[in-house]
């Protein structure tokens, strides 16, 4: 059966996450609803990854298997679907892929960005973390370089993650600063539940000199989950890109 990828962007503030849940509204629920309204029949979507409540995405994916879609004008369909969807969700493109392509399992890497701001700014409050504390930026850079060297992330995964391995390959880990806005960019072949927010929160402890770099490094040697700090809120995090 023909398979199609759906590239979406969204502001996650009003949603309980990306994938469908019982008794809570999600990005998937809204997109499936729009598909059923427009195409006049239900279409089951598969998501590329889970993002928590409040997390945003510049790019994320669903896939769907649908007969008869090859004849569609997807640019026109996206226009009409976007008219149905809420203002905080947009379909960027819909396109056919080989039938064996899976939007979750065939991803080469995912790239996340976490944004902090240090001066009060009402335009950033829903998409970045207000963090008006003095930071040693050099320590942030050193901590980020340590992350890139690691492979095991037990301490940076939330409990009950239900994964077979806590091993991740990190391709990029870097902090940047422009005026009062500070961003952490991380790229990896996979991420564990809560991992990016845990990395951010724990590195911020290092930058505030509440935890040493040595103590930070020791976390990667632990084989117990959830030993890092998880206090960085979801609204500062966004999924930047999924690469296939």
Spans of all domains in the chain: 3-97, 109-243
Fold of 109-243: Alpha-Beta Plaits (3.30.70)
Q: Which residues contact 123 (CB under 8 A, 6 or more apart)?
A: none
Among residues 52, 77, 88, 180, which one is catalytic?
Answer: 52
Question: Over the chain, what is the mean pLDDT?
Answer: 96
Annotated active-site residue 52? The verdict is: yes
Distance CA 244, CA 240 (A): 14
- Residue 71 clears pLDDT 90, i.e. is over it: no
CA-based angle 156:124:58, to the nearest 5?
65
Instruction: Please say whether the dihedral angle defined by the alpha carbons of residues 10, 59, 164 and 202, taken in this order, is positive or negative.
Output: negative
User: For 157-212, how does the pLDDT look when each residue is reduced to its tens digit (9 = 90+)?
Assistant: 998 777 889 999 999 999 999 999 999 999 999 999 999 999 999 999 999 999 99
Please name which of 236, 21, 241 lies closest in space to residue 128, comparing C-alpha atoms. 236
Task: Output the pLDDT for position 68.
Answer: 85
Helices of type H across 40-187: 74-84, 137-148
User: For 212-225, how does the pLDDT look when each residue is reduced to its tens digit (9 = 90+)?
Assistant: 999 999 999 999 99
The number of residues making up the chain comes to 244
Give the CA radius of gyration of the chain: 19
Task: Output the pLDDT for position 26.
Answer: 97
Pick the CATH number of 3-97 from 3.30.70.580, 3.10.129.10, 2.40.50.100, 3.40.50.300: 3.30.70.580
pLDDT-based confidence at 80, cuts 50/70/90? very high
**Fold match between domain 3-97 and domain 109-243:** yes
Please name which of 138, 154, 159 lies closest in space to residue 218, comparing C-alpha atoms. 154
Please name which of 62, 67, 68 lies closest in space to residue 94, comparing C-alpha atoms. 62
Exposed, middle or buried: residue 62 (CB in 10 Å: 0-12, 13-18, 19+)? buried
Distance CA 92, CA 228 (A): 36
Over residues 59-71, the mean pLDDT reads 93
């Amino acid at each position: 059966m023909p398979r199609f990828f759906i590239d979406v962007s969204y502001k996650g503030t009003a949603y309980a996450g990306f994938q469908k849940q019982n008794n809570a509204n999600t990005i998937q629920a809204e997109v499936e609803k729009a598909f059923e309204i427009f195409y006049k029949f239900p279409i089951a979507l598969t998501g590329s990854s889970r993002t928590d409540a409040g997390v945003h995405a510049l790019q994320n994916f669903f896939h769907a298997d649908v007969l008869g879609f090859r004849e569609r004008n997807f640019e026109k369909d996206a226009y009409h679907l976007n008219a149905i969807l809420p203002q905080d969700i947009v379909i960027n493109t819909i396109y056919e892929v080989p039938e064996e392509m899976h939007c979750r399992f065939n991803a080469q890497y995912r790239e996340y960005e976490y944004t902090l701001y240090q001066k009060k700014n009402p335009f950033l409050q829903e998409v970045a973390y207000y963090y008006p504390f003095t930071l040693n930026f050099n320590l942030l850079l050193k901590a980020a370089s340590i992350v890139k060297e690691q492979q095991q992330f037990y301490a940076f995964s939330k409990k009950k993650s239900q994964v077979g391995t806590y091993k991740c390959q990190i391709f990029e880990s870097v902090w940047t600063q422009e005026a009062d806005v500070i961003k952490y960019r991380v790229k990896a072949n996979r991420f564990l539940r809560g991992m990016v927010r845990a990395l951010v929160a724990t590195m911020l402890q290092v930058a505030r000199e509440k935890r040493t770099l040595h103590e930070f490094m020791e976390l990667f040697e632990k084989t117990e989950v959830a030993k890092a700090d998880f206090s960085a809120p979801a609204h500062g995090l966004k999924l930047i890109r999924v690469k296939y």
